[in-house]
Structure formats: structure tokens, C-alpha cells
């Protein structure tokens, strides 16, 4: 009888032990943010491709990111070359050569195809959203944490996100994006074919983000990441007045 009671007591403790071992939403988001650019200083190149009105479009940018600050410079096509997007905190500007004043813009505005301005920035889900862990789910054979994210500020790219994060790799593998009323309007899937040395660790780094319209699934925009390089980026990189000279 004592042995039976002891076993029953252990079984009763299992849910509590499992809950205690579960990572907090904040930790899951902080870890997954690293693989999408939230690090002390990085430079990478991103090529965006989409089909709009039956015509393929491509744009290439160089992105410099340090924490929440991002400077993206258009490299091609020629008509947009040297145009810039600057994001400092949650504020964003468009800068055009030979134009004296920057134009304030929103991270939510369409950049190309299904990609918004904020999609090219380093990811800061841990700082921009309140996360709630709602369960586990298998995505492409990989067990994932499932989190519901709610924006903590109106100046972020999306109001609400359902986010799947790999339990084994702690990287985001899928995201559904919703309006403030709860309507899903697009989905993104992520691949991590790049790797990056961070201090004494080697972490996976994003190689592709594929964004699909929820209503028109044939409308897809793909962001491909390459030439990722850690760099010591000075404050002057993200100074709006210096970029306007």
C-alpha cells in the first residue's frame, strides 16, 4: 500500500515537473530572435523576389542591424539604388538620394509584394510583443512551442502573431499574422541554412523567409539572406542627420 501511494504521489508530480521545465515565453522569444538578427552587430544581404500582376520583381538590399536599430540600403534594381530605410527603435524613415528631408514611414507599410517595411529589420518579438505559450504542435516533423503574441506598441509591424518555435533548435519556423480584429492575412515560413559564430557558440541563422497571402495563396514573396557577417557598428551608422548629408 505504501509503495502504491508513493507511485501515485510521483504521478501527481509529473505535470508540475513538466511545467517547471517548460521555458518561459520571454526566453523562447529571446532565443529565437537571435537567429533572425537581434544581436550586437550584423551585416547581411537580402534578396526579395515576388510576382505582382503576373510580372516577377526583385530587389536586393544590404542590411546593417544592431539590436533594434537597422539601416537597409537598396543595391538593385538601378531605379532604387542607394535609397535607404532607417529604423531606430520603433521609428522608421525612408531616405532618398538628393532629397533634403527624410520621410517618416510605418513598419507596416508594404515594401514589395507581401513583405512589409518591418520584415527586413532584425526581429524583436521579445521586446515588441507580449507572448503567451498556448501549447505544442508538430510542424514538418519537428515539435514546436506555439505562442500567441500581442503587440505592446502600435508602431510595430503586426498586431497579433501566432508563432511556432522549434523546441530543439529554438528558432521560429512558422508565423501567422493577424489584424487587430483577429483576421489572418498572411503566413510566413522560415529556413535556417546559414550559421553564425556568436561568442563561443555557433547558432543557426535565417536563410529564407517565405511570406504567403492568406486569401490569395498564389501571391508569395521570398526573402533570401546571404553574406552574414558580424560587425562592430558605431552609433553614427544609425544617425538620421548624418545619413542626410
Residue 13 within any structural domain of the chain: no
Residue 42 within any structural domain of the chain: yes
Query: What pLDDT does 175 receive?
Result: 98
Distance in angstroms (rounded) separating the CA atoms of residues 109 and 93: 11
Q: Does the pLDDT value for residue 2 go beyond 90?
A: no
Residue 227 within any structural domain of the chain: yes
What percent of the chain is modeled with pLDDT above 70? Answer: 91
Residue 136 within any structural domain of the chain: yes
Whose cell is 513598419? That residue is 107
Q: 19-73 pLDDT, tens per residue?
A: 335 799 999 999 999 999 999 999 999 999 998 777 889 999 999 999 889 999 9
Q: Does the pLDDT value for residue 130 go beyond 70?
A: yes
Query: What pLDDT does 244 receive?
Result: 84
State how far the alpha carbon of 98 is from the alpha carbons of 95, 237, 244, in Å: 9, 19, 9
State the average pLDDT for the chain.
Answer: 90
- What is the average per-residue pLDDT within 89-107? 92
Query: What pLDDT does 19 receive?
Result: 39
Element (H, E) at 235: none
Residue 152 within any structural domain of the chain: yes
Query: What pLDDT does 21 receive?
Result: 55
Residue 20 within any structural domain of the chain: no
- What is the average per-residue pLDDT within 118-146? 95
Q: Does the pLDDT value for residue 18 go beyond 80?
A: no
Beta strands, E only, 152-238: 160-166, 172-178, 184-191, 194-198, 201-205, 208-213, 220-230
Going by the DSSP 8-state scheme, the letter that residue 170 receives in this structure is -
Residue 12 within any structural domain of the chain: no
Q: 177-233 pLDDT, tens per residue?
A: 999 999 999 999 999 999 999 888 899 999 999 999 999 888 999 999 999 999 999
Please tell me the total count of domains within the chain.
Answer: 1
Residue 209 within any structural domain of the chain: yes
Position 91 confidence tier, pLDDT thresholds 50, 70, 90: very high
Residues with Cβ within 8 Å of 139's Cβ and at least 6 positions away in sequence, in order, are 164, 166, 173, 174
Q: For 134, list phi and psi in degrees, rounded to 5.
A: -110, -5
Structural domain span for residue 103 = 25-243
Distance in angstroms (rounded) separating the CA atoms of residues 93 and 98: 15
Sequence-distant contacts of 80-89: CB under 8 A, at least 24 apart: 84/243, 85/117, 85/120, 86/238, 86/240, 86/243, 87/117, 87/118, 87/121, 88/238, 88/240
State how far the alpha carbon of 240 is from the alpha carbons of 42, 66, 213, 245, in Å: 19, 15, 33, 9
Q: Does the pLDDT value for residue 5 go beyond 70?
A: no
Task: Supply the pTM of this predicted model.
Answer: 0.88
**Which CATH number covers residue 86?**
2.50.20.10
Query: What pLDDT does 54 receive?
Result: 77
Q: 169-179 pLDDT, tens per residue?
A: 999 999 999 99
Amino acid at each position: 500500500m505504501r509503495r502504491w501511494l508513493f507511485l501515485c504521489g510521483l504521478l501527481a508530480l509529473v505535470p508540475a515537473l513538466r511545467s517547471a521545465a517548460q521555458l518561459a515565453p520571454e526566453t523562447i522569444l529571446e532565443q529565437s530572435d537571435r537567429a533572425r538578427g537581434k544581436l550586437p552587430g550584423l551585416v547581411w544581404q537580402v534578396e526579395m523576389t515576388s510576382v505582382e500582376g503576373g510580372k516577377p520583381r526583385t530587389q536586393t538590399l544590404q542590411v546593417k542591424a544592431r539590436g533594434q536599430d537597422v539601416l537597409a540600403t537598396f543595391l538593385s534594381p538601378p531605379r532604387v539604388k542607394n535609397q535607404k530605410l532607417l529604423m531606430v527603435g520603433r521609428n522608421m524613415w525612408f531616405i532618398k538620394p538628393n532629397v533634403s528631408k527624410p520621410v517618416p514611414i510605418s513598419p507596416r507599410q508594404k515594401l514589395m509584394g507581401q513583405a512589409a517595411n518591418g520584415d527586413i529589420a532584425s526581429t524583436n518579438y521579445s521586446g515588441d510583443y507580449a507572448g503567451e505559450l498556448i501549447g505544442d504542435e508538430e510542424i514538418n516533423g519537428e515539435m514546436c512551442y506555439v505562442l500567441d503574441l500581442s503587440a505592446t506598441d502600435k508602431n510595430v509591424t503586426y498586431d497579433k502573431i501566432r508563432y511556432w518555435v522549434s523546441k530543439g533548435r529554438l528558432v521560429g519556423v512558422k508565423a501567422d499574422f493577424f489584424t487587430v480584429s483577429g483576421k489572418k492575412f498572411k503566413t510566413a515560413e522560415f529556413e535556417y541554412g546559414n550559421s553564425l559564430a556568436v561568442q563561443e557558440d555557433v547558432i543557426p541563422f535565417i536563410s529564407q523567409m517565405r511570406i504567403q497571402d492568406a486569401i490569395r495563396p498564389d501571391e508569395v514573396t521570398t526573402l533570401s539572406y546571404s553574406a552574414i557577417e558580424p560587425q562592430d557598428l558605431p552609433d553614427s551608422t544609425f544617425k538620421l542627420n548624418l545619413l542626410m548629408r
